Structure 1
Amino acid sequence: MKKTIKLIKEPLNQFIRLETSSSIILFLATITALVLANSPIRESFVSFWDNYITIKVPGFELSKPILKWINDGLMAIFFFLIGLEIKREILTGELSRLKKASLPIFAAVGGMILPAITFTFLNMGEPGSEGWGIPMAADIAFTLGILKLLGNRVPNGLKVFLMAFAIIDDLGAVLVIAFFYSSNLVWLYIGIALAIVAALIALSFRGFYSKYLFFVMGLIVWVLFLKSGIHSTIAGVLMALTIPLRRETDTRSFYEKGKESLEAFMEDCKTNGEKTVLTKRQFNAIDDLEEITEKTAAPLQYLEHRLHGWVSYLIMPIFALANAGVVFSFSGDSNFSLSTNLAISLVAGNSAGIFLFSLIAIKLNFAELPKNVTFQQLAGVSFLGGLGFTMSLFINNLAYTDALLINSAKMGILIGSFIAGLVGYLILRVTLNDKKEEAQN
């Protein structure tokens, strides 16, 4: 039995360690949703997400369909992780210096402005014009997965540029959601939520941080945003700003205290032998190790590390399963024009916007091309920027209430994202092969 479990567990662990594994799971969830939505059990699959889940305590009740719990609840954690990444990059990463951040900033601005303008122009006078924000977003999971498929030939500068661009693009999407896809605002709730966030930032700035207090306050802020009219996922981004990027213990202290705890653990091993039941002293040593380990990493980095797996392997696939299911129909049950306009905006708008704004920034000496990166490879990455998927599907649910428009937009998002990803992959594959051949000659 143990041998069987090992045979199953080891390949699974190896798969999870692969950088492409999260994008593979996301892809499989998407395919599953599409298959089920176009299968004989379509009605059961679609109606499942409409079942209500109610949380009720004295004086408070929250009742929502499963789809809303996913999009308003689980995705708040996704946005919290985005907020952590944005804050870390601004404070210590690729966005910490203007010179380093200028190219991805220009690229992200181009990747937001041109797709929105393209869609607005193409869809002018047609139903669904309020969906201009849908083609603006990029999906970092799929784009990094595609880069990983190309292997070690991809220059590190290209990967860094894509990650920085995607983070800025996500920030832009958050601002678009907050300012343009929120309605019927209740300013009292917003004011209370912002006051709590401000108080937590002040506590963090003064050196106080308690994961329990911040978690409880985070739940309260989430509920307040949920009731305020501003989409509740914005609460996730704001709460991320309250998490400090400051370590309580230095690496030397970690080593010394960790060594002390391990020595105490091993002393009891020598005295009592290798028993199934640990001694109280050994348990205390384990607790001390856990405490010192958590304190050695900054709370922001610790949470980012812990949440990344949950978001990549659970939350995003569940979101895709619940939202990517669309019946592919080109009859009167769909708005073919809307699907086409969104697909064009994702592919042409993003590729042109990202590349042209990057080119302008380089030519005007506002930015420079990353080391070992060519303009042809930059063009390939520009197409990858049109792979919207997760964020595009999310904004789609905010932009439209009509089922026909939602499904038609989903069709456009899936088609456009597929074309953008495929074209970007092919361009990079050709240009990277050329680069490899030149290096060998």
Structure 2
Amino acid sequence: MSDLTRTPSTPNPEPAEQRSRTRRSIAEKIGDLGQTRIGALLLLIATLAAIIWANVASGSYATLWETHLTVGVGDLQLDFTLHALVNDALMAIFFFTVGLEVRREFAIGELTSWSRAMVPVVAAVAGLAVPALLFVLIAAGSGYEAAWGIVISTDTAFLVGALALIGPRVPGRLRVFLLTLAVVDDIGALSIIALVYTENFNPLPLLVAAAGLAGVYFTRYLRGGRGPVYATLAIIVWLAFLASGVHPTLAGVAIALLVPVYRPDRRDVEHALDLARTFRQSPNTQYARAAANSLRESISINERLQSAYAPYVAYVILPLFALANAGVVLSPEILAGAMTSALTWGIVVGLVVGKFLGVFGSAAILRLLRLGEFGPGLTLDRIAGGAALCGIGFTISLFIVDLAIDDPAAQNQARVGVLAASVLAFIIATVIFRVSDAVHPDVDSGQTLMRRVDPQRDHVFGAADAPFTIVEYGDFQCGFCLKASGSIQEVHDQLGDRLRYVWRHAPLTTVHPNALAGAEAAEAASLQGKFFDFERGLFADQENQRPSDIIRLARELGLDVPKFERDLMSAEVTGRVQDDMLDAEAMGITSVPTLFINGRRHTGPYDAQSLIRALEQSEQEPQPAAPAR
């Protein structure tokens, strides 16, 4: 066997020093929930404000939203109520951001790999079908069976915000599951709006829309000035959808699906950084413009637009939508009517019971049949809590109420059902998560390796039947991981084939800016059978791991560089690293190196002799089973 690293063992650093440098939660890299929490809070405040306003001064509430606005030139005029402006125009921007996310997930996200996406996709489809079926069964004979679209969709903003408030301590993998499910859920809801709730269809304007969409596609090839062109074409497409009878919000989705998305090219990013350094050395407007343009162009238009529009959608558009649509009058007569209304009960049962049965039931069946990937932390009790949260249908449910029901009294009953279902879903999810935490306290969290070593998946050095196993969660830019690798090499020198060593990724990107790139590069190298060779190269030169350095190392190792660069951009590589990071989060790993000796977390020094003593001691103890719930 070749050496694990080229680096000899060095003394183990003081634990306090290590903790002071690396005490950063890996959960921070999974995503910042601040914007989501604030957006969900504003949505809730706007909902309560709408209900209070509609009940205290119902006349002024209705009068305001029925105010007419006229926009146009000469004989070409558009007449909107303020309510229609919110629902038809501003919500087109909301659906545009939904379309951007759908496009991204299919291009470079979770939906690129069927094995990774299978569980949330199946759960989402069942979560669309079961609620609709229950609604139709309960609402049969009411005359509103066609309003089944109200119960099909989950409100992503409330879902993620609620998960952040009441979810389990380490919700990373559950959050990925629910976000992937929400994307598929949105696809289903948008398709149903287009196919079921379109009236007075006129196909001729869609020819104009098709020409505009073609223009949107080819705009990517312009060298500059793309923003005004996109904006102009978007308005034309929106007007064409409006004239065709297809709900104009779907124009936002159609445009978003044509906006290019790609992973940042590392060499483009490095070129942008070089320009930024040039500007710092010689500040002038030319270098500033070049550096800014280069940085901007290194990120796909899709992701730039998501970042640009997300605050407006979260802080303005969705709260305005709630204010305009959630104003249900809660008079004794209306509440009494809702209590006996098959429409109201169909919505409540469809969202609360149907979503839970569809999502949880399908996931439980897949788990029983051992189909799809359930990573550590994605347990059935946590899926149950997430499935209950899926009953919060708010935004698109209220949106479809306006499309599917014409009678104002029935609309009020439907809105009561949507609001009641959302409150019930939140309460039930809270109870499930609290009971789960009480029944399964995480007393052993992080002390036992949650995912068993799998030679088909893991990067394993040593004999498969070795009696001793060290699993390391590490970071290629971490100096302590470098020292640990030297210690492990000494252990291997003494134990030989009795030791099996496994590397898993836990890059601390808040401390080491190139750590994630190094992890992905090692995964790309592993696709050509060179993982440990690449690992040694990264450890040998920790200070130089920029994109050009990574490509140079690949060339020195004799890799197929064009294939290596393609693999660097692949969802398979990024997904593999993210899986390890989610595993680390589930075990509460916040510093590296974190070592597991025969399945148990190692504490204390990690010099060679300490590791050998820990291995020999573990031989006398029963090997722990991987946690399962």
Q: TM-score, normalised by structure 1?
A: 0.87
**Which of 237, 253, 262 is the equivalent residue of 1:221?**
237
**Which of 362, 371, 378 is the equivalent residue of 2:383?**
378
**Which of 335, 346, 355 is the equivalent residue of 1:350?**
355
**Which of 59, 75, 78 is the equivalent residue of 1:43?**
59
Which residue matches 2:84? 68
Confirm whether residue 309 of structure 1 aligns to residue 311 of structure 2.
Answer: yes
Which residue matches 1:4? none
Query: How far 1:201 sits from its partner (Å)?
Result: 2.5
Which residue matches 2:41? 24
User: How many Å separate the matches in 2 of 1:28 and 1:203?
Assistant: 40
- Which consecutive residues of structure 2, in runs of 5 or more, have no partner in the other structure? 1-31, 448-629
Query: How far 1:241 sits from its partner (Å)?
Result: 1.3
Confirm whether residue 257 of structure 1 aligns to residue 259 of structure 2.
Answer: no
Residues 400 and 151 of structure 1: is their aligned pair in 2 closer, same or farther, counting only changes over 3 Å?
closer
Stretch moving more, 372-381 or 156-165: 372-381
Which residue matches 1:163? 179
Residues 101 and 150 of structure 1: is their aligned pair in 2 closer, same or farther, counting only changes over 3 Å?
same
| 1:412 maps to amino acid | G
Which residue matches 1:276? none
User: How many Å separate the matches in 1 of 2:288 and 2:412?
Assistant: 52
Residues 205 and 158 of structure 1: is their aligned pair in 2 closer, same or farther, counting only changes over 3 Å?
farther
Confirm whether residue 137 of structure 1 aligns to residue 153 of structure 2.
Answer: yes
Secondary structure at the counterpart of residue 153 of structure 1: coil
Stretch moving more, 198-207 or 239-248: 198-207
Q: Check conservation: 1:355, 1:378, Cα contact below 8 A.
A: yes
* Aligned pairs, number: 410
Which residue matches 2:502? none
Q: Check conservation: 2:322, 2:395, Cα contact below 8 A.
A: yes
Query: How far 1:50 sits from its partner (Å)?
Result: 0.3
Query: How far 1:432 sits from its partner (Å)?
Result: 3.2
In the TM superposition, 1:237-252 aligns within 5 A as 237-246=253-262, 250-252=268-270
User: How many Å separate the matches in 2 of 1:141 and 1:432?
Assistant: 24
Which residue matches 2:327? 325
Secondary structure at the counterpart of residue 110 of structure 2: coil
Residues 382 and 439 of structure 1: is their aligned pair in 2 closer, same or farther, counting only changes over 3 Å?
same
Which residue matches 1:387? 392
Secondary structure at the counterpart of residue 200 of structure 1: helix
Please list the CA deviations of residues 234-272 of structure 1 after superposition, one character each: whole Å capped at 9, or x if unmatched: 10000001211145871111101112223333xxxxxxx
User: How many Å separate the matches in 1 of 2:249 and 2:63?
Assistant: 24
User: How many Å separate the matches in 2 of 1:208 and 1:18?
Assistant: 31
User: How many Å separate the matches in 2 of 1:401 and 1:263?
Assistant: 65
Residues 43 and 211 of structure 1: is their aligned pair in 2 closer, same or farther, counting only changes over 3 Å?
same
* Relative contact order, higher structure (CA 8 A, sep 6+): 1
Query: How far 1:194 sits from its partner (Å)?
Result: 2.3
Identical positions, percent: 32
| 1:394 maps to amino acid | F
User: How many Å separate the matches in 2 of 1:100 and 1:205?
Assistant: 33
Mark the structure with the bigger radius of gyration.
Answer: 2
| 2:310 maps to amino acid | H
Please list the CA deviations of residues 189-209 of structure 1 after superposition, one character each: whole Å capped at 9, or x if unmatched: 123212321343355489998
In the TM superposition, 1:166-245 aligns within 5 A as 166-202=182-218, 204=220, 210-245=226-261
Please list the CA deviations of residues 300-320 of structure 1 after superposition, one character each: whole Å capped at 9, or x if unmatched: 100011111110011000000
| 2:81 maps to amino acid | P
| 1:377 maps to amino acid | R
Secondary structure at the counterpart of residue 342 of structure 1: helix
Stretch moving more, 105-114 or 255-264: 255-264
Query: How far 1:153 sits from its partner (Å)?
Result: 1.0
Secondary structure at the counterpart of residue 64 of structure 1: strand
Q: Check conservation: 1:143, 1:421, Cα contact below 8 A.
A: no
**Which of 360, 365, 379 is the equivalent residue of 2:365?**
360
User: How many Å separate the matches in 2 of 1:388 and 1:16?
Assistant: 20
Higher helix share: 1
Secondary structure at the counterpart of residue 111 of structure 2: coil
Q: Check conservation: 1:193, 1:221, Cα contact below 8 A.
A: yes
Residues 303 and 45 of structure 1: is their aligned pair in 2 closer, same or farther, counting only changes over 3 Å?
same
Residues 209 and 116 of structure 1: is their aligned pair in 2 closer, same or farther, counting only changes over 3 Å?
farther
Q: Check conservation: 1:258, 1:289, Cα contact below 8 A.
A: yes
Q: Check conservation: 2:202, 2:245, Cα contact below 8 A.
A: yes
Confirm whether residue 106 of structure 1 aligns to residue 111 of structure 2.
Answer: no
User: How many Å separate the matches in 1 of 2:240 and 2:152?
Assistant: 28
Please list the CA deviations of residues 305-346 of structure 1 after superposition, one character each: whole Å capped at 9, or x if unmatched: 111111001100000011011011352684441222211111
**Which of 88, 94, 97 is the equivalent residue of 2:113?**
97
User: How many Å separate the matches in 1 of 2:225 and 2:367?
Assistant: 42
User: How many Å separate the matches in 1 of 2:70 and 2:287?
Assistant: 42
Q: Check conservation: 2:334, 2:413, Cα contact below 8 A.
A: no
Q: Check conservation: 2:355, 2:391, Cα contact below 8 A.
A: yes
Confirm whether residue 293 of structure 1 aligns to residue 295 of structure 2.
Answer: yes
Which residue matches 2:96? 80
User: How many Å separate the matches in 2 of 1:111 and 1:286?
Assistant: 50
Q: Check conservation: 2:338, 2:417, Cα contact below 8 A.
A: no
| 2:186 maps to amino acid | D
Query: How far 1:296 sits from its partner (Å)?
Result: 2.1
**Which of 367, 371, 374 is the equivalent residue of 1:369?**
374
User: How many Å separate the matches in 2 of 1:256 and 1:434?
Assistant: 54
| 1:153 maps to amino acid | R
Residues 208 and 352 of structure 1: is their aligned pair in 2 closer, same or farther, counting only changes over 3 Å?
farther
User: How many Å separate the matches in 2 of 1:375 and 1:324?
Assistant: 33
Query: How far 1:288 sits from its partner (Å)?
Result: 3.9
- Which consecutive residues of structure 1, in runs of 5 or more, have no partner in the other structure? 1-14, 266-280
Secondary structure at the counterpart of residue 391 of structure 2: coil
Q: Check conservation: 1:107, 1:357, Cα contact below 8 A.
A: yes
Query: How far 1:415 sits from its partner (Å)?
Result: 0.2
User: How many Å separate the matches in 2 of 1:16 and 1:359?
Assistant: 28
Confirm whether residue 427 of structure 1 aligns to residue 427 of structure 2.
Answer: no
Query: How far 1:17 sits from its partner (Å)?
Result: 4.2
Query: How far 1:182 sits from its partner (Å)?
Result: 0.3
User: How many Å separate the matches in 2 of 1:89 and 1:329?
Assistant: 44
Query: How far 1:230 sits from its partner (Å)?
Result: 0.6
Confirm whether residue 33 of structure 1 aligns to residue 33 of structure 2.
Answer: no
